[in-house]
Structure 1
Amino acid sequence: MKKILLIKFSKIGFMFLGLLFSSQILIAQSGTIMGNVTDEGGTTLPGANLLVTGTELGASTDSNGDFTLNNVPVGEQEIKVSFLGYETQTKSVTVVDGQTLELSFILKEDLYSLGEVIVTASKRSERIQDVSQSISAITGRGLEQIGATDMRGYINTIPGVKLESPNPIENTISIRGVAPVAGWASTIGYYIDEAPVTEFGLNPAISSFDMERIEVLRGPQGTLYGEGSMGGTIKMITNKPNVNKSEFRFDPELSNTTNGGMNYNVNGMLNIPIVKNKLAVRATGFYQNDDGYINNVGIGVDKVNTYETYGGRFAARYVATDKLFFTASAIYSGSKIGGEFTANEDLKQSTSVRENMNDDYSIYNLSGYYGLSFADLTVTGSYFHHKKDQTVDLGFIIPTVDYLFGLVGEGPFDGVWTDNESDFNVYTAEARLVSSNESRFKWTTGVFYKNYDMTGKDIGDSDPVITQETIDVLLEAMGMGGMGIQGIFVNEYSRKVQQMALFGELSYDITPKFNILGGLRLFNENRDFSSLSDGIFPVLQTGMPPTEVSDKGDANRYGIMSWG
């Protein structure tokens, strides 16, 4: 019996070694394909999908449009690349064992897939194929196909557009390399329907559920959209109430995060015609809860970067006649993160405090439309409120804090941070006339008003708490007792902007493919800024007592001209 078992074992052993040897040969018989995907204008296409046909091998292009396909079987292979809004392209290649093949794709825009997509890039409704500006559009169906739930899911798929997002709440967008710089305004305009919600580095991650489309205009848009649109403009167009039929939709989603836990995403929509063909309401709700996957070793909290967002949209539309209708809408969203989304390659970070962030915004809009015999009149007014508070870690100054307050017997300290709060209130109104599309000669003219009011404060804190009495003792010991310094760090600031603008644009279609365009925007703007800085650390850093800085801009007329 033992001999028989030995023989059987030997046979099995030889079979195993043979299979192992064969598998090693097969593994070795593969190559690598590397390359780049761009459009016809040379713009890289991040997020393009590549597939080795007949296999499960695939990859996506990175932010530079580059891709790598590893372990591609040797021999003749077909590589297929696809990207939303572009024609799918396939190339045949010969893969050589152990070698790297370089391959590039130049995709053509798929006008057929765009169909009759109507956009409002030039403040008028027209087919995307007829727009002379550089524009991309993603329909609601396209957003679903790529699995996008907010701007983080679709922005980087648009040619020439890049999103930098340290977390889901703080989003900075650049178009064609035009990125925001420190200052008053963003360089990219951001609109929800008719409401401008542009903020420097704080573009809200609006839920893209139940969107009609998203338009991205590349290049300066100062004439029609004003300040904050030097690099381009992004417009989110929501689905409007349908006065003809009832609609209902419910989309639950469950997923799992690697190194994290379960994620939940629920979206719902209800559309009800109250008076058929006259009055309808539409309500949309959303809730998303994502588990974290980054461990904070500094405070001993695992999966610290949790994300929760919730809110909804409500809209009502009244169609008085076939030429006159009104739309009222309200949007609310609240978001919370449990910590920053930055980490090392081991998915670890280290801070002296948990960097929580809460973000709430609400948008209210009322718009009216009337079709005249020679032009279309639109009058719209919006109110945008945005409130944000966050904790920012200052753990890197703990050694300095330990040394200074150790002089008066305080410390050691486990954490130092600031609590930041900001509140934005923005009122806007616009009235415009847009000529009909029937003539080769087209024009747009209008008036715009904005009142912007922002207040904020940063207050330093620590663990253990540094009392004012302790601060006074330290200041006396340093010979600075008479400066009236309060707290360890305090900064209060405000910004106010009032603007009136007149704008106009003319264009003439020489041929269906070529036109001449010119525009002018005149605006009068007042800006006020103030900042109060106090606390022991700013004073020690600058050697100056608590200071208040203010700046008031004069009301002047400026002009923005464009042509093409």
Structure 2
Amino acid sequence: MNSGRISNIRSILAALLTSSALAASPAFAQSAAEDTASSGGDIIVTAQKREQNLQDVPISIQALGETRLENAQVSSFDDYAKMLPSVSFQSFGPSQAQISFRGVTSGGDGLRIGPLPTAGLYVDEIPVSTIAGAVDFHIYDVARVEALSGPQGTLFGASSLSGTLRIITNKPDATAFSGAVDAEINKYGKGDMGGQMEGYLNLPLSERAALRVVGFYRKEGGYIDNIPGTRTFTLDDAASDPDNLTNLTVSNGALVENDYNDIETYGGRAALKIDLDEDWTVTPQVIYQRQRANGGFLFDPRKGDLKVTDYLPSKNLDRWYQAALTIEGKLSDWDIVYSGGYFERKVDSTSDYSYYTVAYDTYGYYATYFPDANGNFIDPTQNSILGDKFTKQTHEIRVSSPATDRLRLTAGLFYQRQTDKVSADYQVQGISSIPTPIWFTPYPTSIYLDSIFHTRIDRVDRDYAAFGQAEFDITPDLTLTAGVRGFIAKNTIFGYSGLFSTNYDPAVCVPTAQTDRPCNNVDKKNDESGVTYKFNLRWKVTDDAMVYATLSKGFRPGGNNRRASVNPFKSDTLTNYEVGAKTSIGPFTFNAAAFYQKWKDLQFGLVPLNNNGVTNTYNAGDARIYGAEGDISVRAGGLSLTAAGTYIDAKLTTDFCSIDPATLNVVCVPGETPAASKGTRLPIQPKFKGNLTARYEFPIGLSNTAFVQGSMLHQGGTRSFLTDADYAAVGPTKGFTSFDFSIGTTWDKWKIEAYIQNAFDKRGQLTWNTACATSFCGPYARIYPIKPQLFGLKLGTEF
């Protein structure tokens, strides 16, 4: 092909990209160009383990910069997740979200003895992903949030099957002293008051060292009411007790409270940066956060708007810290980076599990008939007391050749060991004191108190990997990238899980000296190894326009089920085919990508009938996902417009067959209706999710500025659960649109701002959830809503 033809093709592609930027619907977006528009600068990201301008990175990435985060009053995960169209999540409340990208979710993630997450979560260079819910990192003094869509397994590892979410903090700066203090008061429209205090100090210690310290306290008011109610238990004997002589009626009067779901979060971080010489820098950092969430964050529409009837108290206490060390340096002209960290997280959760009791009250054989010493009956209402102690030790060392070379290489080694000490007690208060057990033998020691189901499992996941990614400039404008990651993954679970005396029979349960369990009846391991890859071709059509194509593969390790008869679940893989374009033409920036993904052997958590509520993980078959995502931004004088959106179509491509009641494994029987048929839509992810923001800034007087801002957020309805039976029991969520508005001004080093979120108080439905297995608790499903109408006033200063 001669140079004239290349020039003609470039001109045509540049014209097409330019016209696309001018004509693109604001419903499509997927990058941080909107932050560029609002702040007037380039966004620098590290998505490929190098510092690069966002517009030069040939992957689909959205980077919410510090200005954008502040303008949107972002402080928690829910706040920034709504701004990321490719991100979906299922949640029971703060610190309990299971994150996914591009619809890669089965709705069965987040099990404590089950699959690892489909999306990786990082703070700076260190992963902090855990099962059973992502940490709700408080967003303050954060440089940006990077959302990398699609498999990132080459550079980021096994928990990045569907994508990687990175929180990048501001680093110490030895060149200047700086600081800020920010205060806020807020109130939910029909709910309670809240507020927060935040601040940071950047302290130069010398020409080569600086310390940066951040602290915050946030109190969020509640907005869900626990209203009065009563329920009557038949105590399993409706047929033999036609006169209802043994019925028991209970009340929740002691727990009735308005706005009962308040949250208290506080913590901070400290980072020390030391330049040892011109080439070597050491940065240790420590982060601590504590969050207590009272009450529940789901409401029961059968009881009324934002109302529930809970009979036992609920809370979630989450404490975590991370100690990290980054060493950056050079050997000759190659960059070397070591990043290591130790992460520890403790989560204690108590919740009302009583609808499980309600369902079993009519079965005629379960735990609702408990006479005490006086012939009366104890309240059989059940609660769950769950605990997790997570640890994560990670080490990565990588080398990178000079960024100016025609052939550029990044390579490294990675090791991770993560553990979870799982504890679970499902209790009926007073059951340990009944004198004559009718159908079960209580646990043998007083340690287990009122537990009727008891779990103590030690889980360990180990990952070993070697990775490399090379970029080669075929021509100055055409670059080929190839990456590979070889890995070994090991999973073990050991301990006890069982119902009453049934599961600690000495014949099948190994004695132990540990006092937190009667014996050990679980001892399983699973080892896997494999390779993931990535190929990318990028063409710089002009200095301001680029197109690319990507083939990449992601991997998530398999694992073990606690029941002896249930097979281990296999690894699942995601193959991604993607084409995209990025262009910046004057004040316009437009990025877009289209993709097709093949998900093989997707992992899914399911509770089989008559399984005492125990969830097993299965490989539910294969799925395909296709869609498009993009972003557009423009700035004209003081007016900036930004938009982002994603369209997803995700469906099974094979039948998910039924569960064999004898072995509790998946079997495909010809002629038998599958649990979910080929063509079934995957749950949780809406087909469309998008946002649009307009901001106008204008001068006041000689040196002050003011602004007004409005945002619209929309997402479509979702399928709540994968299997047909679960979906029929609960139904879909409904699509919704909400609006946020703010107004404010700055003068000297001060700023004041008033805002209203969800201005018209729309009750957007994010997910339908159940407290226990849907086969039991489906009729009592509750909605996890977007935040209701919230008013706020913020005042801050910088120095």
Q: Is contact 1:132-1:515 (8 Å) kept? A: no
AA of the residue aligned to 2:130: E
Query: In the TM superposition, what is the alpha-carbon distance from 1:522 to its structure 2 partner?
Result: 1.3
Distance 1:262 1:268 in 2: 21
1:188 to 1:558, Cα distance in 2 relative to 1, 3 A: same
Distance 2:462 2:22 in 1: 41
1:550 to 509, 523, 526: 523
Distance 2:417 2:23 in 1: 42
Q: Is contact 2:38-2:68 (8 Å) kept? A: no
Tell me the secondary structure at the aligned position of residue 69 of structure 2: helix
Q: Is contact 1:385-1:425 (8 Å) kept? A: yes
Q: Is contact 1:44-1:160 (8 Å) kept? A: no
AA of the residue aligned to 1:461: Q
Percent identity (aligned): 28
Query: In the TM superposition, what is the alpha-carbon distance from 1:252 to its structure 2 partner?
Result: 0.4
Larger radius of gyration: 1
1:224 to 155, 163, 180: 155
1:539 to 1:450, Cα distance in 2 relative to 1, 3 A: closer
The answer for unaligned runs of 5 or more in structure 1 is 1-37, 47-82, 88-108
The answer for unaligned runs of 5 or more in structure 2 is 1-20, 228-251, 510-518, 537-799
AA of the residue aligned to 1:532: Y
- Alignment-derived partner of residue 420 in structure 1: 386
Calculate the aligned-residue CA RMSD, in Å. 3.0
Residue by residue over 1:102-147, the C-alpha shift from the partner in whole angstroms, topping out at 9 and shown as x without a partner, is xxxxxxx977967322111011111111111111111111100111
Distance 2:23 2:412 in 1: 36
Aligned length: 459
* Residue 125, structure 1, aligned to residue 125, structure 2: no
Tell me the secondary structure at the aligned position of residue 495 of structure 1: strand
Q: Is contact 1:390-1:420 (8 Å) kept? A: yes
- Alignment-derived partner of residue 106 in structure 1: none
1:274 to 205, 209, 212: 205
1:318 to 258, 274, 287: 274
- Alignment-derived partner of residue 63 in structure 2: 137
Q: Is contact 1:148-1:208 (8 Å) kept? A: yes
TM normalised by structure 1 equals 0.75
Task: For CA contacts below 8 A with separation 6 or more, give which structure has more relative contact order.
Answer: 2
1:243 to 1:482, Cα distance in 2 relative to 1, 3 A: closer
- Alignment-derived partner of residue 448 in structure 1: 414
Query: In the TM superposition, what is the alpha-carbon distance from 1:264 to its structure 2 partner?
Result: 0.9
1:179 to 72, 90, 105: 105
Distance 2:148 2:31 in 1: 17
Distance 1:45 1:255 in 2: 32
1:129 to 1:84, Cα distance in 2 relative to 1, 3 A: closer
Alignment of 1:321-336 (within 5 A): 321-336=277-292
AA of the residue aligned to 2:182: D
The worse-fitting range, judged by mean Cα deviation, of 328-337 and 512-521 is 512-521
Query: In the TM superposition, what is the alpha-carbon distance from 1:164 to its structure 2 partner?
Result: 3.2
1:489 to 1:322, Cα distance in 2 relative to 1, 3 A: same
Query: In the TM superposition, what is the alpha-carbon distance from 1:484 to its structure 2 partner?
Result: 6.4
Tell me the secondary structure at the aligned position of residue 404 of structure 1: coil
1:339 to 1:509, Cα distance in 2 relative to 1, 3 A: farther
The worse-fitting range, judged by mean Cα deviation, of 230-239 and 161-170 is 161-170
Alignment of 1:141-540 (within 5 A): 141-179=67-105, 181-182=108-109, 183-275=114-206, 277-297=207-227, 298=252, 299-343=255-299, 344=301, 345-399=304-358, 400=361, 403-406=368-371, 409-413=375-379, 415-463=381-429, 465-467=430-432, 469-470=433-434, 473-474=436-437, 477-478=438-439, 487-510=451-474, 514-536=478-500
Residue by residue over 1:381-400, the C-alpha shift from the partner in whole angstroms, topping out at 9 and shown as x without a partner, is 10010100011222124453
Distance 2:468 2:420 in 1: 29
1:519 to 1:396, Cα distance in 2 relative to 1, 3 A: same
- Alignment-derived partner of residue 560 in structure 1: 532
Q: Is contact 2:279-2:329 (8 Å) kept? A: yes
Tell me the secondary structure at the aligned position of residue 459 of structure 1: strand
Q: Is contact 1:392-1:418 (8 Å) kept? A: yes
Tell me the secondary structure at the aligned position of residue 142 of structure 1: helix
Residue by residue over 1:285-310, the C-alpha shift from the partner in whole angstroms, topping out at 9 and shown as x without a partner, is 01110111111124312211111100
Distance 1:209 1:561 in 2: 35
TM normalised by structure 2 equals 0.54
Query: In the TM superposition, what is the alpha-carbon distance from 1:195 to its structure 2 partner?
Result: 1.2
1:314 to 1:357, Cα distance in 2 relative to 1, 3 A: same
Distance 1:425 1:483 in 2: 29
1:300 to 1:511, Cα distance in 2 relative to 1, 3 A: farther
Q: Is contact 1:211-1:236 (8 Å) kept? A: yes
AA of the residue aligned to 1:293: Y
Query: In the TM superposition, what is the alpha-carbon distance from 1:557 to its structure 2 partner?
Result: 3.5
Query: In the TM superposition, what is the alpha-carbon distance from 1:412 to its structure 2 partner?
Result: 3.8
AA of the residue aligned to 2:294: G
Query: In the TM superposition, what is the alpha-carbon distance from 1:547 to its structure 2 partner?
Result: 7.5
Residue by residue over 1:56-91, the C-alpha shift from the partner in whole angstroms, topping out at 9 and shown as x without a partner, is xxxxxxxxxxxxxxxxxxxxxxxxxxx99467xxxx
Distance 2:313 2:525 in 1: 37
Distance 2:525 2:156 in 1: 24
